[in-house]
Structure 1
Amino acid sequence: MDGQVERVVGMVEGAVLVVDAGEGPLAQTKFVLAKALKYGLRPILLLNKVDRPAVSEETCNEVESLVFDLFANLGATEEQLDFPVLYASAKEGWASTTFTKDPAPDARDMSQLLDAIVRHVPPPTANLDAPFQMLVSMMEKDFYLGRILTGRISTGVIRVGDKVHGLCMKDSGVTKIEEGKVTKLMKKKGTSTALVDSAGAGDIVSMAGLANPSIGHTVANTEACISQVTTPLPTVELDPPTISMTFGVNDSPLAGRDGSHTFEIIVD
């Protein structure tokens, strides 16, 4: 879960933080928000389920205050603390910039949320003239296409039929994993996938044609000189796995009746 969140957050310029208007922020809210703030994103707060009878404007204000405190405790900057707030009912399919339980018939859609995304999420910084490079952030396998690599294009342009190679960094230096040709190039269109002929820097794409590169590897254009692509793109740094254990004598009334010593281990 940790790695997946960091890889996805590392591919985007913005985020929508969805919080239940009745329950407020939960444990997973803190975890994902911390990752978004770490990458410098400025999340948009969306208070969902405001159509529920128990949710009032006062309730939403209290939840908004809790979210603000959470931002502050996680070290948010002043710009990140000035987050936009919207109210929504995902079940009924509408969002509003002002609190309401029953929006007008012509406003019962997600247009205000989409407008907020356009206003507050900056466009990607893209260099289309540089050699093509893409960091592989996700991977899946298709029965017909083979390995499908998904990532955000860092620089350059890629087209179907282009020759590419996979790169990774090892102790001995840059290692070429495999050389191949892009056979399929795909983009997300809503909830479906659409085939495209080309894509450029800033786009998130999925490609087929290479069988060996994996998550964290770089896909680069073979036509670029190795001097221009000297090192793979930096990989996402994941938090190391941690575990804390408390050892103590079991002081239960039923412990040690036979003269033996028992211990308890508490794992967090």
Structure 2
Amino acid sequence: MSSPANAAAMPRVAVVGMYAFLIVSALFFLAPFLVILINSVKPMADIRSGNLLTLPSEITFEPWRIAWSSACTGLDCSGIKPGLWNSILITVPAVVISVLTGALNGYALAQWRSRFADWLMLFILIGLFVPYQAMLYPTVKILSGMGIFRSYTGIIFVHVVYGLPYTTLLFRNFYVGVPDEISRAARMEGASFLRTFWSVILPISTNIIVVVAILQFTGIWNDYLLGLIFAGNDNLPMTVQLTNIVNNSRSAAEPNVNMAAALLAAIPTLIVYFVSGRYFVRGIATGAVKG
């Protein structure tokens, strides 16, 4: 039989092992980010010498300035700054519309007690799992017929439509677990369906709204293909601008500028996660993404 001292030591060993595993895992995933960060503040002389994994001989933020305001993206040499504003103007409305519409759809499906609701949910799931690359050509034809192809309105419309199956599924799964008594009480007070949804259901949906908004924001902000095809030359998002900077052939390659531009493109998503991270974890823990 083991002694009490040995029995007490075993949990401590397990805790130490768990923290060691978490630290090693964190370092593994942070390694590429640290390499990019270090090289984004290196002078080109250090990079040309092949010292990509060493600390810079001197720290310079000139690559960040160039990436922001003067790097060439094709014929335009105004940096990644225009792409940032385009991404904001595309992402914010698309996230707001897709989240609110998905919430309304999810609540309606959760309240609709019919076999047809299950069939409708099945078709929504089919739309969720069909690769959007397979729907690019029909989408181009539809938007061309509507007169919004390669426009600001068109790219927002595409992101909203492609995101609706996903947002509807998440909200529907969340609202199925909300007690029916809440909606019944609101209806007994004379509230309509929309009034119940807006005044009663949405205020108790903070966690799931944050979860869906973060997932939508990340997906839309990091999108490249849809922005390249549907946004138009005047509305190209930051990801397209970043690719144009990296692939620019007008001058010698500048890896430090490319890495600074990559970090500038990633900063908004990092801010969103840091600001609302606790709500994201809370939403997942309360079953926001459970079926």
TM-score range, shorter chain: under 0.3
If asked which structure has higher relative contact order (CA below 8 Å, sep 6+), I would say 2
Structure richer in strand, relative to its length: 1
Q: TM-score, normalised by structure 1?
A: 0.26
Q: TM-score, normalised by structure 2?
A: 0.24
